[in-house]
Structure 1
Amino acid sequence: MNKRLYHAGQFVCRMFFRLFYRVEIIGKENIPSDRGVLMCSNHINNLDPPLVGAFLKRETRFMAKAELFEAPVLKKLLPKLGAFPIRRGTSDRQAMRTGLGLLKERELVGVFPEGTRSKTGRLGDGLSGVGFFALRSEADVIPCAVIGSYKPFSRIKLIYGEPLNMQPLRENKASPEQSTKAIMSGIQALLDEHKTS
């Protein structure tokens, strides 16, 4: 990861969002500064990753679909920005090892559990790999919600929730599917709480 490049890109993204949208950020204080964090967000637009990471002091290591790393420019740029690939629809062991390693090193890993953008704007089902990360690491699991249409100059809410209590699931050796369901419930709770407020 090239931290200088990352923070330069982060600055550009902040300026972009402040110029073209009315961004309201809630709950940044919920993200610990010195622990591994698995940040799980809903996914409604291609601009979600830069938005979710643009206003945080910590670098976000996003998990991104492997197809992006095959594009001529992105295949060189994304690794420098700290992103790592995952092949959707498969059991990508390399991605799992990479993600768990980052969490063990107290990094902030950003994932979109649905695996793809929602076509309806509603939260879809989460993939079990996210639950695997939560169970196999000691990272804080932070639900995140993006609310808005991304129409120019419209209002967008970005909410970082309080850490979810994953310890009972870890102690009871829950399945990745059960863990993912708990995470998706946390995201949905943020959407329900903030969508009309």
Structure 2
Amino acid sequence: MYTFATRFLQLILFLMNGRMKTVNKEKLPQNDPFIVVCTHKSWIDVVCLGIALHPTPIHFMAKKELFDKIFIKKLLKKLNAFPVDRSNPGPSVLKIPLQLLKKKQVVGIFPSGTRNSEEKALKNGTRNSEEKALKNGAIHIASRASVPIIPTVYIGPHTIRDLLGRKKRFIIFGDAIHVPKMTKDKEAVTEATNEVISKVFEELKGNI
């Protein structure tokens, strides 16, 4: 089902928007598990990441509300999605990704926004807690599983109208980030790695 859906959506997006460009795919680990942390604004970036990684399947987190209806739940599971409470991800959110990585699978995590949005929120006295929690989750999972994080950005349309406007699509992979094992300085390691990911997001966006 996953392969069929990926090829079908690739064809649909090609007919609507033309060929997508994948940049730096050679940076991906070969035959080893890893975590992709990709910028996220709509369903289009999730689909495009799946297309860019093909034939390697990606198992991705999706907000738990999408699993409330039985039909949607079954469909999402066939598409390698698993539920997570994005607004309040607790320790249990680590279990499924760790199991997948142990089986040498690829896990995708999609925090919304960018470093600019974080800085703007801080200036206004707020913080995108969902984005930070998901990035922190990815960092802790990578540390515990001893796998790299591949920071990735999607650049392109986020709506059907923009797709039909032929705005080009890009998936750009960054260099692997290796997270050390967490010791006494868990907060320091997490915060430093979070900043690195955010910085790389902005650098990759500047490549186009």
TM-score normalized with structure 2 length: 0.78
Question: 1:43 matched to which residue of 2?
Answer: 40
Residues 1:36 and 1:79: Cα distance change in structure 2 (over 3 Å):
same
Question: 1:81 matched to which residue of 2?
Answer: 79
Contact preservation (8 Å) 1:38, 1:134: yes
2 CA distance for matches of 1:184 and 1:43?
Answer: 17
Question: 2:148 matched to which residue of 1?
Answer: 140
2:61 maps to 1:53: no
Residues 1:121 and 1:164: Cα distance change in structure 2 (over 3 Å):
closer
Q: Structure 1 unaligned runs (5+)?
A: none
2 CA distance for matches of 1:123 and 1:19?
Answer: 33
Alignment of 1:47-126 (within 5 A): 47-56=44-53, 57-112=55-110, 114=111, 117-118=112-113, 122=116, 124=118, 125-126=131-132
Contact preservation (8 Å) 1:39, 1:110: yes
Letter in 2 for 1:185: V
Secondary structure at the counterpart of residue 88 of structure 1: coil
Question: 1:175 matched to which residue of 2?
Answer: 186
Q: Structure 2 unaligned runs (5+)?
A: 119-130
Displacement after TM superposition at 1:21 (Å) = 2.5
1 CA distance for matches of 2:98 and 2:89?
Answer: 14
Question: 1:21 matched to which residue of 2?
Answer: 17
Residues 98-140 of structure 1: CA deviation (Å, up to 9, x unaligned): 111111111100001x2xx44x995545222222112211112
Displacement after TM superposition at 1:183 (Å) = 4.4
Displacement after TM superposition at 1:91 (Å) = 4.2
Question: 2:170 matched to which residue of 1?
Answer: 157
Contact preservation (8 Å) 1:146, 1:157: yes
2 CA distance for matches of 1:121 and 1:107?
Answer: 28
Displacement after TM superposition at 1:54 (Å) = 1.4
Q: Give the fraction of aligned pairs with identical amino acids, expressed as a percent.
A: 24
TM-score normalized with structure 1 length: 0.82
Letter in 1 for 2:179: M
Contact preservation (8 Å) 1:126, 1:180: no
Question: 2:139 matched to which residue of 1?
Answer: 131
How large is the Cα RMSD of the aligned pairs? 2.5
| Bigger helix share | 2
Letter in 2 for 1:129: G
